[in-house]
Chain A
Amino acid sequence: MDISQFIGVMLAAMFAATFGSMLGLGGGVFLVPLLTLFFDIDPRIAVGASAICVVTNSVVGSSVHIRSGFTNLRLSMLLQVTTAVGAIVGALIALRVDGSAISLVLGLVLLYSAASMLRQRRINPAPPPIDAPDPFGLRSSFLDPATKLVVSYLPSRIKPGLAISGGAGVLSGMLGIGGGAIQVPLMNLMMKVPVKAAAGTSSFMVGMTAVATAAVFYSHDEIDPTIVVPAMIGIFAGAKLGSQITRRVQTQRLILVFVIVIAYLGISMVLEAFGISWT
């Protein structure tokens, strides 16, 4: 790898980490397309590198989110049960399919995520009453620094949430993404968790999910330090920046950024799967 590619991968990872951390994603959903589309790296190697970067981004970013009270640790552990099982299954699938299939599935997942969040901007779902029964002990609250208000919430529809988290885990393992691109819309739209709490909870979860993926890729010698090392340096720089920005940015702007970037990358990956490159 030459120095220009080293710096390029580092900057791509920094971008992925900043936006990923802002949005509660590991950044893999940005990093895999960036590495594949702009650096011509094999999707399987990109997935392995991304899994390590997602863990790194989660470790750095979620410590900030946890201290801010955005992360609901009980909810993250509960959803993680099915997500981690799914991630193992997904990683084993990824090692047996070819790169264009990974590109196509990732592209479709990105477009789905963008459409979900766009819908959320228009609907703004009503939260369930805070005094409703809480059989799973998941009621929580946090101080939103952007509005200076305490936001209390009670996650709802836990059982379907667990099932969909398992599916998110399969896609995470298959695509080297932490699954935040699915978990954040899931928690926000279906389980009625406020966006910042969904981002904080997801930020912690994606690290655990990506550990399962990274372990499987490591055992198959699909972790390439020439990609992973510059990417990790970029992640170190970008992750803390992103989680600091989240504290100050208005939620609606956060969602708009998410939708635009995700839609662009989604279209690019679908086209790439069919051999069409526009980047």
Chain B
Amino acid sequence: MSIDQAHGAADQARLRELAARVLETGFRVAVIIMAIGLTLAVFRQEALPSTLEQPAAIVQGIARGDAEAIIGLGIISIILTPFASTIVIAVAFYRQGDRRYALISGLVLLILLVSIGLSLI
């Protein structure tokens, strides 16, 4: 294996480790938030809502300590995790000098942002 190939393999391994860690962290954060919300809902004997509240209502609900708003935040945290991992991957490609895949990852991010933007219209 040449020195360049060894560097390439090390870069790939670092990139994989970074992406895996972001996904695991996002998952753990979402589980903790949902566990808190569910525990509160059970203690207060509150039924789950049949619609996930919109972001502004979730923020207000969390300020009041509403169980359903906390559960909503848990659901949104998990939705945002792949988005966070894509940001990290795009930055890592850029730092490794892989401009082409940094650009492609950036384009994927942009499309995901458009989908979220469309959903807010």
**Are A232 and B51 in contact (CB-based, < 8 A)?**
no
Nearest B residue (CB) for A74: B101
User: Does chain B have a CB within 8 A of A56?
Assistant: yes
Nearest B residue (CB) for A53: B78
Q: Known contacts A63-B23, A73-B16; decide if A55 and B78 are in contact (CB<8 Å).
A: yes
Nearest A residue (CB) for B27: A59
**Are A229 and B48 in contact (CB-based, < 8 A)?**
yes
User: Does chain A have a CB within 8 A of B19?
Assistant: yes
**Are B51 and A212 in contact (CB-based, < 8 A)?**
no
| CA–CA, A219 and B115, complex, Å | 10
**Are A59 and B83 in contact (CB-based, < 8 A)?**
no
Residues of B within 8 A of A211 (CB): 79-80, 82-83, 112, 115
**Are A207 and B52 in contact (CB-based, < 8 A)?**
no
Question: What's the minimum C-beta distance from A165 to chain B, rounded to whole angstroms?
Answer: 12
User: Does chain A have a CB within 8 A of B1?
Assistant: no
User: Does chain B have a CB within 8 A of A202?
Assistant: no
Q: Known contacts A212-B115, A236-B31; decide if A52 and B82 are in contact (CB<8 Å).
A: no
Q: Which of B27-76 contact A (CB under 8 A)?
A: 27, 30-31, 34, 38, 47-52, 68, 71-72, 75
User: Does chain B have a CB within 8 A of A114?
Assistant: no
| CA–CA, A60 and B100, complex, Å | 28
Question: What's the minimum C-beta distance from A46 to chain B, rounded to whole angstroms?
Answer: 14
| CA–CA, A223 and B49, complex, Å | 10
Nearest B residue (CB) for A65: B20
Q: Can you offer 16 A-B residue contacts whose CB atoms are under 8 A?
A: A56-B30, A60-B23, A63-B19, A77-B101, A77-B104, A84-B108, A88-B114, A91-B115, A137-B98, A208-B82, A208-B83, A210-B82, A215-B119, A225-B49, A229-B38, A232-B34
